[in-house]
Amino acid sequence: MAEELTVEVATPDDVPGIARVMRGVADEGRWIGTPAGTDVAALEERFAATVADPGTHVLVLRGGGDVVGLASLTREHVRGAHGVGMSIAADWRRRGGGGLLLDGLLDHAATDPDVHKVELQVWPHNGGAIALYVSRGFVVEGILRDHWRRPDGALWSSMIMGWWPPRG
Ligand SMILES: CC(C)(COP(=O)(O)OP(=O)(O)OC[C@H]1O[C@@H](n2cnc3c(N)ncnc32)[C@H](O)[C@@H]1OP(=O)(O)O)[C@@H](O)C(=O)NCCC(=O)NCCS
């Protein structure tokens, strides 16, 4: 069913759709760091800045004419090591969209001579995302143990994964 999904570079017009997807995934409470119930207006403000940031590459996944997912490659504190974030609306998962988005980000990273590494963090219980990352060549680098405090006060660990652009 992947043929009904397309990936494009995000534009400012996509920001409301991106915020809607992020809010839905945040409200599931299990996959991303953004807390459930995060104000949609705050998400729109955050992603308007992200889409406008020349240091961030943002892709949107479209299905049925709507934004149904997004992925970003962001400059982090270590120059040249860029971070991945991605979210797809629950009804649109397992149709190949995650692979399309991640391939788009990694193609971009591979052609940017300033990017020497792509990194991400994932909750260890997120087996689907980990399987996707491994399928694209990411390796586990370690665990940040009891590192992130969740809105209910619980401490969650995260797994660090890395990918290096193939360079001739
Ligand atoms: C993780 C996520 C982006 C994957 O997107 P997706 O569109 O469902 O993934 P795809 O359909 O492209 O799957 C590609 C491969 O990833 C793996 N995979 C994805 N979801 C999986 C799952 N739930 N269980 C097992 N493997 C899974 C499989 O290897 C799959 O290949 P296959 O379909 O040939 O078996 C999506 O599930 C999502 O947005 N989840 C909620 C937010 C999230 O977890 N973001 C990542 C935070 S680190």
**pLDDT tens-digit readout, 92-109:** 999 999 999 999 999 999
CB proximity list for 51: less than 8 A, separation 6 or greater = 10, 11, 12, 14, 15, 18, 58
pLDDT category of residue 47 using cuts at 50, 70 and 90: very high
> From the CB of 25, is ligand 1 less than 6 Å away?
yes
Please give the mean pLDDT across all residues of the chain.
96
In the chain, where the domains are located: 5-163
SS3 state at 38: coil
Measured from the CB, is residue 29 less than 6 Å from ligand 1?
A: no
95 lines ligand 1 (CB under 6 A): yes
Class of domain 5-163: alpha beta
Indicate which atom in ligand 1 lies nearest the CA of residue 89. Answer: 39
Q: Taking 70 as the threshold, does the pLDDT of residue 1 lie above it?
A: no
**Distance separating alpha carbons of residues 17 and 135, to the nearest angstrom:** 28
Note the pTM of the prediction, 2 decimals. Answer: 0.96
Name the residue of 18, 72, 88 whose CB sits within 8 Å of the most ligand 1 atoms, as the mutation to test its pocket.
Answer: 88
Can you tell me whether residue 155 is helix, strand or coil?
Answer: strand
